Amino acid sequence: MTGFSAGAPHSAVDVIRAKRDGGRLSDAQIDWVIDAYTRGVVAEEQMSALAMAIFCNGMDTAEIARWTLAMLNSGVRLSWPAGRPIVDKHSTGGVGDKITLPLAPLVAACGVRVPQLSGRGLGHTGGTLDKLESIPGWRARLSTVDIERQLADVGAVVCAPTEGLAPADRKLYALRDVTATVDTIPLIASSIMSKKIAEGADALVLDVKVGSGAFMRTVESGRELARTLVGIGAEHGLRVSALLTDMSTPLGRAVGNAVEVTESVEVLAGGGPPDVVELTLTLAREMLALGGVTDVDPADVLASGRAYDTWRRMITAQGGDPDAPLPVARHTHTVTADRAGIVSTVDALAVGVAAWRLGAGRARKEDAVQAAAGVHCHVKPGDPVTAGAPLLTLHTDTPEAFDPAIAALSDGVEITDTAPKPTALIIERIHG
């Protein structure tokens, strides 16, 4: 029988049945099933059934904490030489969310080491590594020794997770993606925190997105996820705080890969969209506070150009050329306003799906992405427009993608006669 071996204290069927019937899993059951799944003893279809049972019936706080610990213990834990504080940041994912790119070098320039082990995009949400790989020569894969050296020399590194980091999560995440079990708080929280705790940081700041372009569509669900994440961190002795931030509208004006790098460099050079600057500075202050650095204002550091210098050193250290031209799409199409009025909505989900269909994202992890594909948003909610004014410019190397992208945007931008009620970018702060 798959999922059972002679002398084993548990079987996969018993664990699945317990959760299917609404029971709670014991520490021993969780430890066993995560270890057995990582080793291939529990089959993919059995873990699929267990993930769906968790999706339907949930987990209590103790179960989530133990599930996180079991995934953490499936691999190695990184540790870093003593010195400047080490603070990490994680975003739950959104549309136009390029904040890691200006944030990591900014915080490093303020005196805190930032080991940002990041991922790739899937579906309508972008991936930090995909964005950075649009820079000629830049490489995502680094050894632990490389990461340690770059943290010492530059202060910041953004790269792919090392192979030994939470391998159980890597297997389970891929499975959840193809079994419609991604968006459940116990599995989201344990996935995030098993990797982040394994990274060996002193503290962690979480950017929990809420709104149409986020996994958490409501403030209430975002708050529940944030509290769960902060609680797991406290269980493991990690200083954690979380910000709930709005993802009903794309962040900034650029959505894609190379276009988001360009916008990030604009922020580091002292410009960029106000919302990207606001969130970058807010998260920087939060990271510095958790790292115990209270005598530096990141706004001053950003204005001085020191963060931009750190960005250039960070890109160069990973083989990239910060002066090289970025890829430009071969084809563009501009969506225009069909009437005069005031923009009331620029829907993050619609824009994210359009960028994905243009080639900026992937449907499966093994799919390639187009570095130059994406969407440039000419307008934000509250902007007045005239009939025929540009709303969005679509970028792609495959012009046949325009029609499905335009279809995704059919209700994505709304124009009315009255201005929408202003919304706050930073909704709430949650801490232990």
| Predicted local distance difference test score (pLDDT) of residue 292 | 95
| Predicted local distance difference test score (pLDDT) of residue 180 | 85
In a domain, 74, yes or no: no
Is residue 420 helix, strand or coil?
Answer: coil
In a domain, 153, yes or no: yes
Domain boundary among 303, 324, 345: 324
| CATH number reported for the structural domain that contains residue 211 in this entry | 3.40.1030.10
Q: By percentage, how much of the chain surpasses pLDDT 70? A: 97
Reported as a pLDDT band with limits 50, 70 and 90, residue 123 is: low
Q: How far is CA 176 from the centre of its chain?
A: 17
Residues 162 and 209 in one domain: yes
Query: Which token pair is 125?
Result: 């949400």
Residues 40 and 102 in one domain: no
Per-residue DSSP letters for 144-164? HHHHHHHHHHTSEEEEPPPTT
Query: Which token pair is 139?
Result: 């490489």
Catalytic residue among 171, 195, 253, 285: 195
How many structural domains compose the chain? Answer: 3
> pLDDT, tens digit, for every residue of 124-166?
777 899 999 999 999 999 999 999 999 999 999 999 988 888 8
| Predicted local distance difference test score (pLDDT) of residue 368 | 82
Residues 189 and 273 in one domain: yes
Residues 339 and 249 in one domain: no
Assign 3-state DSSP to the chain and report helix, strand, coil percentages, each to 5. Answer: 45, 15, 40
In a domain, 400, yes or no: yes
| Predicted local distance difference test score (pLDDT) of residue 365 | 66
Reported as a pLDDT band with limits 50, 70 and 90, residue 1 is: very low
- The residue segments making up the domain with residue 25 are 12-58
| CATH number reported for the structural domain that contains residue 35 in this entry | 1.20.970.10
Whose structure tokens read 């799906």? 353
Mean pLDDT taken over the chain: 93
Residues 254 and 366 in one domain: no
CA angle 194, 195, 198 (to 5 degrees): 85
Catalytic residue among 118, 191, 194, 241: 191
Domain boundary among 292, 308, 324: 324
> pLDDT, tens digit, for every residue of 33-45?
999 999 999 999 9
In a domain, 394, yes or no: yes
* Residue 191 is among the residues annotated as catalytic for this protein: yes
Helix (H) or strand (E) holding 223: helix 219-235
In a domain, 424, yes or no: no
Reported as a pLDDT band with limits 50, 70 and 90, residue 294 is: very high
Catalytic residue among 10, 19, 89, 90: 90
Query: What's the burial of 207, exposed, middle or buried (CB within 10 Å: 0-12/13-18/19+)?
Result: buried
> pLDDT, tens digit, for every residue of 60-109?
999 999 999 999 999 998 888 888 999 999 999 899 999 999 999 999 99
Is residue 411 helix, strand or coil?
Answer: coil
Q: Tally Cβ neighbours within 10 Å of residue 277.
A: 18
Query: Which token pair is 304?
Result: 């001085």
Distance CA 288, CA 297 (A): 9
In a domain, 70, yes or no: no
Alpha helix segments (H runs only) across 291-379 = 298-304, 306-317, 348-355
| Predicted local distance difference test score (pLDDT) of residue 127 | 87
| CATH number reported for the structural domain that contains residue 361 in this entry | 3.90.1170.30
Residues 27 and 99 in one domain: no
Span of 364-373, 397-406, 409-418 with lowest mean pLDDT: 364-373
| Predicted local distance difference test score (pLDDT) of residue 124 | 72
Q: Kindly tell me if the per-residue pLDDT of 215 is higher than 90.
A: no
Q: Kindly tell me if the per-residue pLDDT of 6 is higher than 60.
A: no
Residues 18 and 167 in one domain: no
| Predicted local distance difference test score (pLDDT) of residue 8 | 58
Residues 318 and 340 in one domain: no
Own/partner pairs for 18-24, CB < 8 Å, 24+ apart?
Answer: 19/50, 19/53, 19/54, 19/57, 20/49, 20/53, 20/57, 22/57, 24/59, 24/60, 24/62, 24/63
In a domain, 373, yes or no: yes
* Residue 380 is among the residues annotated as catalytic for this protein: no
Residues 316-333 have a mean pLDDT of 97
* Residue 169 is among the residues annotated as catalytic for this protein: yes
Residues 316 and 356 in one domain: no
Query: Which token pair is 32?
Result: 């066993």
| Predicted local distance difference test score (pLDDT) of residue 3 | 53
Catalytic residue among 113, 120, 176, 357: 176
- Residue 221: φ, ψ to 5°: -70, -35
In a domain, 75, yes or no: no
Residues 177 and 128 in one domain: yes
Q: Kindly tell me if the per-residue pLDDT of 225 is higher than 80.
A: yes
| Predicted local distance difference test score (pLDDT) of residue 122 | 65
Domain boundary among 309, 324, 339: 324
Catalytic residue among 31, 130, 169, 207: 169
Residues 107 and 141 in one domain: yes
Residues 318 and 336 in one domain: no
